[in-house]
Chains A and B, each alone.
Chain A
């Protein structure tokens, strides 16, 4: 059964469908949550997430997004709840951001988003989206790194990677497609770079 059918079955009270959904989605959800939360909390959040799926399956609408995206949305809310309860000191922010925050007078809020929980989760989503581009060193990943992290021109990237300009352009297009899809939750991004 595909995910939409499974969720419909769960809405109808079928607990074996929930079991199937768990088997398919819990691993990548756990991996994504693990970048933001300690292991014990990942377990609690994941448990709350699937209990929420069980209770709220009837509210899922396929036209609004993929099943994976919907479940991630629930997980995200649960994770944000937990993070807010913990306060900003507990967030696993990278050292650079912390230092930056301290330089500005003590707030670790480099993106100016106001909510550290949201910031941490956005970082997790970004990391997951980047991993969808393939392994580090692969063509899409390198293209993304050179063009968007190091801000180089197409010509420079073509020379650095030793490929024609046309190839760089089509790779960049592919990168934008993948990132857009991942960040808009249209595709559940699986841990390990599997597409």
Chain B
């Protein structure tokens, strides 16, 4: 098990962004769905060791991120793409990916090859030495994905990774997810329900800080067969589960 969450809670003032989440995840691709404000980003931030939990237990890659040493070990094996990622305009694509590879404590001998492989994997091989300020939004998102995968992480956390990617790039991205899902735990938070269906082995649906559904995409589709609203099967399952949870 790479991720073990028990009764995980995060409060901001009096609101509970994450209200007692239980989750276990081994290798594979896990989709995290839910409306705005459901707590997905806070959950991802806790798993990225960027936000400490208010209560509950969190074990990542078999370690407790509460103490300095294990947290550092987790972070060496972690890849994280936040929802909004700023960039350094004067850096090139290669310099940006290399900077974060170094901050992840990768041995410097391995860094050039790892950076080259990551850049090619996200399809930016013809722009490796271009400055970030010359890139479009979708390309910048792909740079973000490249820095997340550069250290071949065992735990890969992606918050809205496909924002700004065109359909062809999304297909390539799903292939990348499946590849990583074979040896690592990949958790993808996304608004795009179809993305989830195509690449994920399991889907988790959150609403108001709680998990209201956890299962395979097929099971989510089954939930929507009778009463779901939407154009696609997964969408119908999504709306049906949300409606049931709120009633």
* Contacts from A to B (Cβ < 8 Å): 15-16, 19
Give chain B residues whose Cβ lies under 8 Å from the Cβ of A19: 125-126
A48 and B125 CA atoms in complex are apart in Å by: 19
A15 and B120 CA atoms in complex are apart in Å by: 13
- Which B residue sits closest to A16, measured CB to CB? B126
A142 and B46 CA atoms in complex are apart in Å by: 72
- Which A residue sits closest to B129, measured CB to CB? A15
Size of the B side of the interface (Cβ < 8 Å), in residues, is 4
A167 and B147 CA atoms in complex are apart in Å by: 64
Give chain A residues whose Cβ lies under 8 Å from the Cβ of B128: 15
Tell me how far the C-beta of A17 lies from the nearest C-beta in chain B, rounded to whole angstroms: 10
* 5 residue pairs bridging A and B, Cβ less than 8 Å apart: A15-B128, A15-B129, A16-B126, A19-B125, A19-B126
A1 and B3 CA atoms in complex are apart in Å by: 50
Tell me how far the C-beta of A18 lies from the nearest C-beta in chain B, rounded to whole angstroms: 11
Tell me how far the C-beta of A54 lies from the nearest C-beta in chain B, rounded to whole angstroms: 12
Give the interface SS of chain A, mostly helix, strand, loop or mixed: helix
Type the 1/0 row for B116-137, where 1 means its CB is closer than 8 Å to any CB of A: 0000000001101100000000
A65 and B129 CA atoms in complex are apart in Å by: 31
Give chain A residues whose Cβ lies under 8 Å from the Cβ of B129: 15
Tell me how far the C-beta of A81 lies from the nearest C-beta in chain B, rounded to whole angstroms: 22
Type the 1/0 row for B174-210, where 1 means its CB is closer than 8 Å to any CB of A: 0000000000000000000000000000000000000
A19 and B125 CA atoms in complex are apart in Å by: 8
Tell me how far the C-beta of B229 lies from the nearest C-beta in chain A, rounded to whole angstroms: 48
A16 and B126 CA atoms in complex are apart in Å by: 5
Tell me how far the C-beta of A21 lies from the nearest C-beta in chain B, rounded to whole angstroms: 13
- Which B residue sits closest to A14, measured CB to CB? B129
A15 and B92 CA atoms in complex are apart in Å by: 13
A19 and B126 CA atoms in complex are apart in Å by: 8
A19 and B129 CA atoms in complex are apart in Å by: 12
Nearest 5 CB-CB pairs, A to B? A16-B126, A15-B129, A19-B126, A19-B125, A15-B128
